[in-house]
Amino acid sequence: MAKLDHPNIVKLYEAFDTPKRTVLILELVTGGELFEALVKRQTPYYERDAADIIRNVLRGVAYMNSMGVCHRDLKPENLLIQGDDPKNIKITDFGLSKDFTQNTLITSCGTASYAAPEVLLSSPYTSFCDVWSVGVITFILLSAEFPFHGRSEAEIFKAILSYRYCFRDGIWNHISSKAKDFIAKIFVESESRMSAEECLEHPWLSERDSEERVLSISGKLGDLFSRSHRVIIPRDDVMDDDDEMQIYS
């Protein structure tokens, strides 16, 4: 975090090590988590709002990746809002991030529902795994649904590994073809996946639609995020039973 300085990333000011704790002095972000704000939203929520949010997330991701850092756990809980504007996004929680200029990315880690296939397979992967996670967040922002489904965790993993998702009728009929194309170009093998920079140049983000599509997802988001999702913790990062983490504001 010390090497990152970007408007869409929570800034680290200082870090102190003690025998029992590491203390991080972070930028104060007052707006809470992104999806909490969307659940409580009282004004209409448009597809263009989702595009504006994702554009700012990708600006942070593109910068972070250009600095040799892969986040590896991008998800709604790690997107904070500065102030009252949901588009003013700050990426946080770099606990599973890694400098890939010095190390090969191979550890299976992150949150299962947002993890790219190559991460689940523990095969060498690139920072393009962060773009996959942004694709999952985009899918949820537009539909209040996860893209990959199954009756068990094993079935969900199988769906992710086979790139099996669909735009369900009823929900996606009202969403633009540009948005669907944006998602389709992310949920592919990493070699064919758009980079964060290429995502920012996609017509869904670079061109403004003349038609504004209202999305009714707030209530559904509340139900979606009342369920927990398993976190994959790398073996070399597991904390001992005596360790503790405290956050002070």
Residue 184 inside a domain? The answer is: yes
pTM here?
0.87
Cα gap 52→89, rounded to integer Å = 10
Residue 123 inside a domain? The answer is: yes
Alpha helices in 162-233 (DSSP H): 177-184, 196-200, 203-206, 218-224
Is 73 considered catalytic here? yes
Residue 97 inside a domain? The answer is: yes
H/E element, 236:
none
Residue 211 inside a domain? The answer is: yes
Find out whether 29 and 92 touch, Cβ atoms under 8 Å. Answer: yes
Residue 57 inside a domain? The answer is: yes
Cα gap 61→71, rounded to integer Å = 8
Q: How do the pLDDT tens digits run along the chain, 249 residues long? A: 999 999 999 999 999 999 999 999 999 999 999 888 877 777 778 899 999 999 999 999 999 999 999 999 999 999 999 988 778 999 999 999 999 988 889 988 888 889 999 999 988 999 999 999 999 999 999 998 999 988 887 888 899 999 999 998 888 988 999 999 999 999 999 999 999 999 999 999 988 764 577 776 656 666 666 554 555 555 444 333 343 433 332
Q: What is the CATH number of the domain that holds 62?
A: 1.10.510.10
Q: Residue with structure tokens 């073809």?
A: 177
Residue 157 lies in domain? 32-237
Cα gap 219→170, rounded to integer Å = 16
Residue 219 inside a domain? The answer is: yes
> Which of 17, 73, 236, 243 is the catalytic position?
73
Residue 99 inside a domain? The answer is: yes
Query: What domain count does the chain have?
Result: 1
Residue 7 inside a domain? The answer is: no
